[in-house]
Copies of this chain bind each other. A is one copy, B any other.
Amino acid sequence: MTVGVLGLGHIGGSLARALRAAGEEVVGWDADVEVRRAASEAGVDTEAPVAEADLVVVATPLRDLHTDVASMLDAVDTARTTVTDVASVKGPVLAAAAGHPAFVSGHPMAGTERSGWGAADPDLFRNAPWLVLVADGAATERVAAVCRLALAVGARPVPIHPQSHDRALATVSHLPHVLAAALTLQAEQHLPLAAGSLHGAARVAAGDPALPTAMVDLNREAVEAALVHLTRTLEQFRAAPDPARWFVSARAVWDRFNGRDLVVVERPLTPTGLRAVGEVGGHVIAVGAGTFTAEVPR
């Protein structure tokens, strides 16, 4: 199976390098000729057409990624090729793909404040969740191909329902990006005094501002809801006579998460079987023919 990667930036470049490190054939393309040359030196085939690969990953910048998905679905032989993507907001991508049976959307939950091929890291995806959007009636062999791609680079495929992606991501990713910017602006004059609590929270604000801007623009309703939720939480915190219970509760959340006991299960390779794993906080560890294996909390 050859993998085509369109867009060799931080995510696409890391994916191409990770696949090469795993011994896979990779065809790649980037609009920047210098990036193509560097990728070629790293063993990526930048001459063959990306659209002729068995699995094509669209990894162009978020703002217009949906138009690249639509173009790719027009360009490939959809009887043979599966198209996936890495967008961190799914509304526009899903609308552009319009339920095309050759499209299975994905989202590797990895990245740093760096960007571009120069920041490509073949270990970027190791142990990271890789969300795989599984619609009702999805072609399970195509879903399986995206899961195997994630597994090949050391990630943990987490099947989820397409409709739950953007709301969940607003809380788990887009909100932290907004807070990182707000904290940075508020703490500017005190940065030389900062420790890990600030650097950890604000780190992503040092990245390319185009990414969080597009996240918020493309997912504005869910991000606003997440901001309203947070603001209400902070108001309750300020009004509470005793802050201890907040910190105790938050610690307990991490204790439960970090201490959860995972067991291996085998399930039929169906949309509901796959999503059931993601819904309980599990992830796929292997995909066979007709069944898959997953780790799920006991």
A residues in contact (CB < 8 Å) with B: 109-112, 128-129, 131, 158, 160, 168-169, 171-173, 175-188, 190-210, 212-213, 216-217, 224, 226-231, 233-235, 237-238, 243-244, 246-251, 253-255, 257-258, 278, 281-283
Contact = CB atoms under 8 A, between A and B. Distances in A.
A119 to B, nearest CB: 13
6 contacts: A109-B194, A178-B234, A192-B282, A205-B253, A206-B254, A231-B235
Contacts of A249: 181, 185
Most buried by B among A160, A224, A231: A231
Given A192-B281, A198-B176, A205-B254, A182 B237 contact: yes
Given A237-B178, A238-B227, A247-B181, A187 B213 contact: no
How many copies of the polypeptide does the oligomer hold? 2
A64 to B, nearest CB: 15
A209 B248 contact: yes
A255 B113 CA distance: 12
A191 B217 CA distance: 24
B131 A193 contact: yes
A213 B129 contact: no
Nearest to A283: B192
Contact of A207 (B160, B175, B251): B251
Most chain B Cβ neighbours within 10 Å, of A191, A201, A207:
A201
A216 B243 contact: yes
Contacts of A182: 230, 233-234, 237, 246, 250
A258 B282 CA distance: 39
A194 B129 contact: yes
A181 B131 CA distance: 25
Nearest to A229: B186
Given A196-B204, A212-B243, 8 more contacts: A168-B193, A171-B187, A172-B187, A172-B194, A179-B201, A182-B230, A184-B250, A191-B253
B234 A196 contact: no
A186 B188 CA distance: 26
A208 B210 CA distance: 36
Nearest to A248: B209
B244 A213 contact: yes
A258 B188 CA distance: 12
A246 B185 contact: yes
A102 B244 CA distance: 34
B204 A200 contact: yes
**Counting chain B CB atoms within 10 Å of each CB, which of A193, A207, A212, A216 scores highest?**
A193
Given A251-B206, A253-B184, A195 B110 contact: yes
